[in-house]
Amino acid sequence: MVDLDTRDIRKVEPDDLLFSGVSYIFHFAGIGDIVPSIDRPTEYMDVNVMGTVRVLEGARHARVKKFVYAASSTCYGLAAVPTREDYPIDPKYPYALSKYQGECAVMHWHQVYRLSGNSVRIFNAYGTRSRTTGAYGAVFGVFLRQKLASKPFTVVGDGTQRRDFLYATDVARGFLAAAETSIGGQCFNLGAGNPQSVNRLVELLGGDKIHIPKRPGEPDCTWADITKIKNELGWTPQISFEEGVAKITAQIDHWRDAPLWTPETIQQATSSWFRYLGS
């Protein structure tokens, strides 16, 4: 039995038992925090690019049926919305660049080595098992811990910014569809196609809010054009935003030990972001 909890994708070898008897590989491993990538670009490139190459080599030698890569919609930068898969690529920070280069590797292995692979560009995934530790990042983890502590929600900017939130079970269904299809060498957007404002999230969670400075280099709206994945893979989202938030709120105790972010600690965590990406 391979202990998946202690594996480092940068150290796996092509003949690693991790790949033995595997039909599909869903490659989610990597560093997902966005803000710290400004301070740690080398680590992000090492893990998210070279780590992906290591996994691709294992998949190639194991002759897996399909490799599905968890890509990121951040590759589009400040895109026009709704955003199609053929929108110009414009990463704004190292995390976005590293995830896009990982995607490029998947497409290259598909072309050169005939390793059938698809890339799924996730927009704003959320769910009841969202991570509760680590760096400042995703809004759900920040807000849920603040709600438990009866603290005001730290809303970035005026809260009118919208994000294309997609519930975790819809994400899972999208990845399975990308694996089971005979189609390969394709990129698919994965979002709800129905962006929601941060203010709407605050309304659903209930509580007071305070405003903190808007971060440069972040879009006012993320909005996936999901026409391609609907037409080619037959996938459609099933969980509404209101239903998804209710599911999370029902399990809010999961976030009781998560970091409690304040305006002061957020300012400290994002100082490099403002220094390098500010005008």
Active site residues: 95
What is the chain's length?
Answer: 279
* Burial track 12-37 (b if 16+ CB lie within 10 A, e otherwise): beeebebbeeeeebbbebbbbebbbb
How would you classify the pairing of strands 196-197 and 162-163? antiparallel
| Burial of 41 from C-beta contacts in 10 A (0-12 / 13-18 / 19+) | middle
Query: How far is it, in rounded angstroms, from Cα 97 to Cα 42?
Result: 11
| Burial of 130 from C-beta contacts in 10 A (0-12 / 13-18 / 19+) | middle
Across the chain, the runs of DSSP E, i.e. the strands, are 24-27, 66-72, 117-122, 124-126, 153-156, 162-163, 165-167, 186-190, 196-197, 209-212
Is the preceding omega at residue 82 within 30 degrees of 0, hence cis? yes
Contact indicator for 232, 186 with CB cutoff of 8 Å:
yes
Q: How far is CA 259 from CA 93, 187, 212, in A?
A: 24, 34, 18
Cα–Cα–Cα angle for 222, 194, 210, nearest 5°?
60
